[in-house]
Structure 1
Amino acid sequence: MVQMYSIAGQKIGSHYLAMGVLSALFGGTYFAVSGPSPAKKAAQTPPINASSPDEEDFIKCDSEPNSSSASAVANIFALRKFLDSADKGEKTKQ
């Protein structure tokens, strides 16, 4: 037999209470984890304050997620190009 609880003057079986608690738990978890709807706009990135176009390209490449090894190689070349231009700038200042 089922254990019956008296709630607001009604007799409710324990299995209904358990189903209610579990559905509230899993439903609340689903809505909490589901994230924002696609209709919301993504946050804008802050402006890039670069002193040269090479530095700006490097910052843009560095902020993008790497989805393949080809983009990782491109980031390495962009870094080398930026560092070479920075070295030339320091040599001319001295």
Structure 2
Amino acid sequence: MVQMYSIAGQKIGSHYLAMGVLSALFGGTYLAVSGPSPAKKAAQTPPINASSPDEEDFIKCAFDPLSSPPNTIANISGVRKFLDSADKDEKAKH
């Protein structure tokens, strides 16, 4: 037999009250922990004012960790190319 409670003039079983309390508890916890959706967080990035396409690639590679892993061969060779060209430009000025 089930214990019956009288709520708002209706007889409600204790198992329905327990399911309601647990649903409210877990549902509220889920909503509180889930936070806002990522679609609402549109991150604005400032424009890249690079003097060359190589410099722009370097900036994107260095500051965007989601574009590609930083230790890949392609990124390392691109960074080295940029740094070599910057060294050549610097040496030409002196």
Identity across matched positions, percent: 72
Q: Could you tell me which runs of 5 or more consecutive residues in structure 2 were left unpaired when the two chains were aligned.
A: none
| TM-score of the pair, normalised by structure 1 | 0.61
Q: Quick one: which of 64, 68, 72 aligns to 1:66?
A: 68
| Cα displacement (A) at 1:87 | 1.8
| Residue number in structure 1 paired with 2:2 | 2
The corresponding residue for 1:47 is: 47
Counterparts in 2 of 1:71-82, with a 5 A limit? 72-82=72-82
CA distance in 1, matches of 2:81, 2:38: 40
Structure 1 runs of 4+ with >4 Å offset: 40-44
Structure 2: how far apart are the matches of 1:37 and 1:15? Answer: 38
Return the structure number with greater relative CO, CA threshold 8 A, min gap 6: 1
What residue number does 1:18 align with? 18
Report the AA paired with residue 5 of structure 1.
Y
Q: Aligned pair count?
A: 90
- 5+ residue gaps in structure 1? none
